[in-house]
Amino acid sequence: MDTTEHNLLLLADSALPKTVGSFSFSAGLESTFQHDQSGFNLDSFLRHSLKSVCCTTIPFIKAAFEYPETVSEIDDEFDAITTCIVSRRSSVTQGRALLTVWSKALFQISADEDINDSIKRFEASVRLGKCFGHHGIVWGLIGRGCGISLGVPLSNSNKLTGRDRILYVFVFSHARLVLSSAVRMGIIGPYQSQFILASPSIRGTIQKSLDEGKRLNRGDAGQSWPLLDIFTSRQELLYSRLFNS
**118 lies in some domain:** yes
Residue, of 226 and 156, whose pLDDT is higher = 226
pLDDT at residue 105 greater than cutoff 60: yes
Please state the φ and ψ torsions of residue 146, each to the nearest 5 degrees: -75, 5
**197 lies in some domain:** yes
Q: Which domain holds residue 192?
A: 42-229
**16 lies in some domain:** no
Give the single-character DSSP code of 36. -
**18 lies in some domain:** no
CB of 43 closer than 8 Å to CB of 195: no
Total-model pTM = 0.91
- H helix or E strand, kind and range, residue 63: helix 42-66
Task: Output the pLDDT for position 23.
Answer: 63
**69 lies in some domain:** yes
The residues, any chain, with a CB within 8 Å of residue 95's CB and separated by 6 or more, are 132, 133, 134, 135, 136, 137, 138, 139
- H helix or E strand, kind and range, residue 47: helix 42-66
**24 lies in some domain:** no
Give the single-character DSSP code of 186. T
Task: Express each pLDDT in 164-187 by its tens digit.
Answer: 888 999 999 999 999 999 999 999
**6 lies in some domain:** no
- H helix or E strand, kind and range, residue 166: helix 162-185
- H helix or E strand, kind and range, residue 160: strand 158-161
Angle at 117 between CA 115 and CA 118, to 5 degrees: 65
Please state the φ and ψ torsions of residue 186, each to the nearest 5 degrees: 80, 15
Neighbours of 77 (CB within 10 A): 19
pLDDT at residue 127 greater than cutoff 50: yes
Q: How many domains does the chain have?
A: 1
Task: Output the pLDDT for position 240.
Answer: 86
Residue, of 16 and 235, whose pLDDT is higher = 235
pLDDT at residue 157 greater than cutoff 80: no
pLDDT at residue 119 greater than cutoff 70: yes
**78 lies in some domain:** yes
**How far is 138 from 82, CA to CA, in rounded Å?**
16
